[in-house]
Amino acid sequence: MENVIEVKSLAKIFGNQTALEDVNFHVKKGETFGFLGPSGSGKTTTIKILTGQLAQTSGDAKVFQTPTSSINKPAYRKRIGVITDNSGLYSRLSIYDNLKLYCDLYDVPTKRIQEVLQMVNLTDEPKKPISKLSKGMLQRVTLARAFLHEPDLLFLDEPTSALDPANSKHIHDGLRRLNEKGTTIFLTTHDMTEAESLCNRVAFLNRGKIQLLDEPKALRRQFSDASVTLELKDGREIIVTGDAKGADAIHQYMATGQVVSIHSNEPTLGDIFVEVTGRELV
């Protein structure tokens, strides 16, 4: 399948500080790719390079087979959507007026506004001024703006960081729908649950370097010792290894009717990140 993003030996140095070092990855068409890492790991720098807002120090970065230094053309801009933490809105204008501007800029009919407002659960007050919105609502309007033109490639930098679980779910559903329609999504987050639920593949970024890159399921399998935890009727919890000896033990506990529940001990992406990098995802 065609690669929408290709990054080879990418490096970025600010003064004497290395933000990215020998970063290599690609994103296939139709994929939702998660770029995971704690604050300051280089996620936003990567998005800025890929969207042509920042020049790399060395290495190659291509979007739609075009070097990112050349994607500042309307034809490419129409195919890309970008939401970063500092994507601004016009505070004196209403939600509707903000979105209408972008409908006109992207040549999208204004009836699309209602559809994107539904996607972000904001259909009640389209005429409300931006200055009167909460932080979470602002984030939802910003996302709605990125959804307007159904881009071929959508960059999202921490899209649900200010949202409550109910609205996060709404956004996740919207992103899945966009992805089903063919939008490739490049998502940065430090929310591992979000990454697990949305991403086909994830890369762990730590101090500017990719430490791991694979499908979430494959990573969990790779770092799993295949053990399970048995919860017994007497309240005890027993960890059983995933080998023949463990199988015998499980058989024994089950045969004697002592088992209340069995839980897999597969690690979460968060656990794996801590194991690989020695750092928490904050």
Residue of 124, 154, 155, 141 lying closest to 47 (CA atoms): 155
Residue 109 makes contact with other proteins by CB under 8 A: no
The residue (of 98 and 277) whose beta carbon lies closer to other proteins is: 98
Asked if 147 is part of the footprint of other proteins (rule: CB under 8 A), the reply reads no
Q: Give CA–CA dist 95/117, Å, rounded.
A: 9
DSSP 152: S
Instruction: Return the sign of the alpha-carbon dihedral for residues 85, 197, 264, 214.
Output: negative
* CB 101 to other proteins: min, Å: 5
Position 2 contacts other proteins (CB under 8 A) = no
What is d(CA 280, CA 282) in angstroms, rounded to the nearest whole number? 6
Please work out the total of residues on this chain that contact other proteins, with binding judged by CB under 8 A.
Answer: 30
Stretch that binds other proteins, among 59-67, 94-102, 180-188, 273-281 (CB under 8 A): 94-102
Backbone phi, then psi, for 4, in 5-degree steps? -85, -35
104 lies in the binding site for other proteins (CB under 8 A): yes
Applying CB under 8 A, which part among 51-59, 120-128, 192-200, 211-219 lies near other proteins?
51-59
The token pair at 280 is 């928490």
Q: Residue 124 is which amino acid? A: D
**Least spacing, CB of residue 164 vs other proteins, in Å:** 24
Based on the shown chain and the rule CB under 8 A, indicate whether residue 42 belongs to the binding site for other proteins: no
The answer to whether 265 and 242 are in contact (CB under 8 A) is no
| Residue 74 contacts other proteins per CB under 8 A | yes
Question: Distance (Å, rounded) from C-alpha 145 to C-alpha 89?
Answer: 10
Binding flag, residue 24, other proteins (CB under 8 A): no
Question: In the bound complex, what is the minimum distance in angstroms from residue 148's beta carbon to other proteins?
Answer: 10
Token pair, residue 171, equals: 């956004």
Q: Closest distance between other proteins and the C-beta of residue 234, in Å?
A: 60
Report, in Å, the least distance between residue 84 CB and other proteins. Answer: 8
Q: Using the rule CB under 8 A, is 88 a contact of other proteins?
A: yes
Q: Are 180 and 108 spatial neighbours (Cβ–Cβ below 8 Å)?
A: no
3-state secondary structure of 184: strand
Phi, psi of 2 (to 5 degrees): -60, 140
CA distance 42 to 37: 8
Report if residue 102 touches other proteins, rule: CB under 8 A: yes
Is residue 201 close enough to count as binding other proteins by CB under 8 A?
A: no
DSSP state, residue 68: G
Binding-site member from 11, 89, 238, 274 for other proteins (CB under 8 A): 89
Q: DSSP letter for 124, please.
A: S
Q: How many residues does the chain have?
A: 282
105 binds other proteins (CB under 8 A): yes
Residue from 11, 13, 54, 232 in contact with other proteins (CB under 8 A): 54
Partner residues linked to 58 by β-bridges: 11
Nearer Cβ to other proteins, position 55 or 254? 55
Binding site for other proteins (CB under 8 A): 48, 51-55, 72, 74-75, 77-78, 80, 82, 86-93, 97, 100-102, 104-107, 145
